[in-house]
Amino acid sequence: MAVEMQGSAISLVRQCDLLGVNRSTLYRKRVGIDREPVELMAAIDEIYTAHPFKGARRISRDLADRGLKAGRKRVGRLMRLMGLRAICPRPNTSRAIKDHEKYPYLLRGLPITRPNQVWASDITFIRMPRGWCYLTVIMDWFSRKVLSWRLSNTLDSRFCVEALEEALRRHGRPEIFNTDQGSQYTGSDFIGVLKASGIRISMDGKGRALDNVMVERLWRTVKYEEVYLKSYRDMVEARRELGRYLGWYNMDRKHSSLGDRTPDAVYSSRETGNHEAA
C-alpha cells in the first residue's frame, strides 16, 4: 500500500496515520536502502540485546566472528542511529543535549511501592527486512504494565509525545517520570507535557543506562519473544503484531517478580508492596 498524494477521499494526514508513515517523509526524495547496513544493524541488534554491556569495539569483534566486517567507528555510528548505548559506567562519554535543563535522577534508593508512583520511557530499534523503525513505550515501573506505545520510522520527538499524552489520558498521571537524556525526552514538547501535568521529572545519570533498567528488561523480552521470531513486511504489520504481543504481555504474561501475576492484574489492583524495583 502507498500514500495517494492526489485524488483520494482520505486526507494525507489520515493516510499517513493508517500506514504508520511520518508525513514529513512524503516530501523527500526517497533513497534506496543499502542492504549491507540493514544486515549489519540486525546483527548489531542481536549482539547488543544478548550482551547490552558491549560497546562498539567489542561488537565490531563479534561481527568479524560472523564474517561481517565493520570497524569500531562504523559500528558506533550505526549504534547511535539505532539508539543503542552500552550499559556500563562511562565517565565523560555521555553528553546531554546542549542547553537543555538538567534534571536529577530521583529513583536511586527510592522504594517503588505502588502503581502510578513512577513511569518510565525509552526507545528501541525494530528491524525489518528492508529497513528499520523505532518503538517507544510508557511503562509503569511498579507493575511493569505498558501503558501506551508508538512506532515510528524516524527518531523525532513527536511519537514519544503522542505515547505520553495517550498514557496520561487513559491512566491519570504518575508522581515521577523517568527517561534518559536523549533529545526526544529533553525537548520542550515532551518536557512541556510533564510540567503542565505537575509531574516530577527524573533523568538517568550520565553514562548510566541501568538507571532505566525496567524498560531495558522489557526490550530484551520483546526482542526474544516477538521481534526475532518474525519478519515484519512493513510498518502496518509491525504495528499490528507488536500490538498483539504487548496486549498479551500486559494481560497474560506472568512475572515471577510480581508473584506470578500479570502486569494488568498488579496495576489494576492498585496494591502496594515490595516487588523488586531494580
Local confidence band at 150 (pLDDT 50, 70, 90 cut-offs): very high
Find, among 148, 151, 266, 139, the residue nearest to 212 by Cα. Answer: 139
pLDDT tens profile 203-218: 976 544 555 778 888 9
- How many percent of the chain have pLDDT more than 90? 43
Task: Write the CA distances from 174 to 61, 200, 203, 224, 266, integer angstroms.
Answer: 42, 8, 15, 29, 16
What per-residue confidence (pLDDT) applies to 117? 97
pLDDT greater than 90 at residue 86 = no
Length of the chain equals 278
* C-alpha distances out from residue 17 to 1, 12, 63, 150, 235, Å: 13, 9, 37, 11, 11
Query: How much is the pLDDT for 95?
Result: 43
89 CB-near residues (< 8 Å, 6+ apart): 207, 208
pLDDT in tens, 154-174: 888 999 999 999 999 999 999
Residues 30-70: tens digit of each pLDDT: 444 455 677 888 888 888 888 776 788 888 888 888 888 88
- Global pTM value: 0.71
